[in-house]
Amino acid sequence: MNQATNEVIVEITDLHKAFGQLEVLRGIDLSVRRGEVVCVIGPSGSGKSTLLRCVNLLEVPNSGTIVVNGFEITDPDVDIDRARQGIGMVFQSFNLFAHLTVLENLTIAQRKVLKRGKAEAERVARENLERVGLAEKAGSLPAQLSGGQQQRAAIARSLSMDPQVMLFDEPTSALDPELVGDVLSVMRQLAEEGMTMLVVTHEMQFAREVADKVLFMDEGVVVEQGAPTQVIGDPREERTKSFLSRVL
Ligand code: ADP
Ligand code: MG
């Protein structure tokens, strides 16, 4: 989207993660600059989710360093609650609180974590519901929304915390095909507004059009990375070619 600056927001160096004997990440290097959209593609089981989960310490790496917004996440003394405040995360499943209205889902963390007052939290929540096209759903319960609307509400909830970087883990994979487009257009709009985004996705068209950089991962390593026109349009590595021939 050409809004990238030189300020590095996420810097990952030689990241390793194993579950028992299974080495899932085997030396990942990655940097994301402010305003940049980086898409991670690759086959199931290649370690994409684990990589994203390491960035906000939902998984603890075995070695390597991760710095996000100046916080060294991998430092055992890091104030992880403060570090996480700058990181928004949107998963495949929407994880909204079922018994709370959409508005309450958007205000609860603002009030508890950011200590915003009720009026301020509601103002921010409504602003972000507007941003994702759900202004009229503030009073609804999650079950009254379609999957695509729930995912947009989850995105609005993350945005309400003023993240410096947004992590998306296959945000459209659980959606019926006709609902995918609305979620992707919200993400595209965020990218255009200059949001820094690290996105695991199978949506090649989105990656091609929106990403500044695409990483192809396989078996815990970055096989190839570069501009989408290169990695998706003209891949160099056999493994990338073979993956793309299966998904395109
Ligand atoms: P992807 O998102 O690319 O499909 P994942 O990062 O989810 O890949 O998983 C990579 C590998 O790590 C898989 O073999 C998966 O079964 C394994 N794995 C992921 N999470 C755990 C866990 N908590 N415990 C054990 N194995 C795991
Ligand atoms: Mg995954």
d(CA 222, CA 25): 9
What integer pLDDT is reported at residue 110 of this predicted model? 96
Task: State the closest ligand 1 atom to the C-alpha of 50, by its place in the atom list counted from 1.
Answer: 6
- Cα distances (Å, whole numbers) of residue 221 to 40, 48, 192: 12, 10, 29
Instruction: State the pTM of this model.
Output: 0.96
What integer pLDDT is reported at residue 6 of this predicted model? 85
Q: What is the DSSP letter of 4?
A: -
Pseudo-torsion of CA 97, 99, 104, 106, nearest 10°? 20
What integer pLDDT is reported at residue 219 of this predicted model? 97
Could you tell me which residues are beta bridge partners of residue 226? 214
Evaluate: CB of 47 within 6 angstroms of ligand 1.
yes
Evaluate: CB of 97 within 6 angstroms of ligand 1.
no
The closest alpha carbon to 149, from 176, 110, 109, belongs to: 176
Nearest CA to ligand 1 atom 15: 45
Evaluate: CB of 245 within 6 angstroms of ligand 1.
no
Evaluate: CB of 21 within 6 angstroms of ligand 1.
no
For 131, phi then psi, to 5°, come to: -60, -35
Q: What is the pLDDT of residues 126-175, one digit of tens each?
A: 999 999 999 999 999 999 999 999 999 999 999 999 999 999 999 999 99
Q: Which two tokens stand for residue 25?
A: 């990440």
Q: Which two tokens stand for residue 41?
A: 């593609």
Q: What is the pLDDT of residues 203-216, one digit of tens each?
A: 999 999 999 999 99
What integer pLDDT is reported at residue 119 of this predicted model? 98
Evaluate: CB of 17 within 6 angstroms of ligand 1.
no
Q: Which of 15, 23, 49 gets mutated to test ligand 1 (max ligand atoms within 8 A of its CB)?
A: 49
What integer pLDDT is reported at residue 189 of this predicted model? 97
d(CA 34, CA 164): 8
CB 168 within 8 A of CB 135: no
High-pLDDT (> 70) share of the chain, %: 98
Mean pLDDT across the chain, nearest whole number? 96
CB 36 within 8 A of CB 4: yes
Q: Is the pLDDT of residue 1 over 90?
A: no
Q: Is the pLDDT of residue 178 over 90?
A: yes
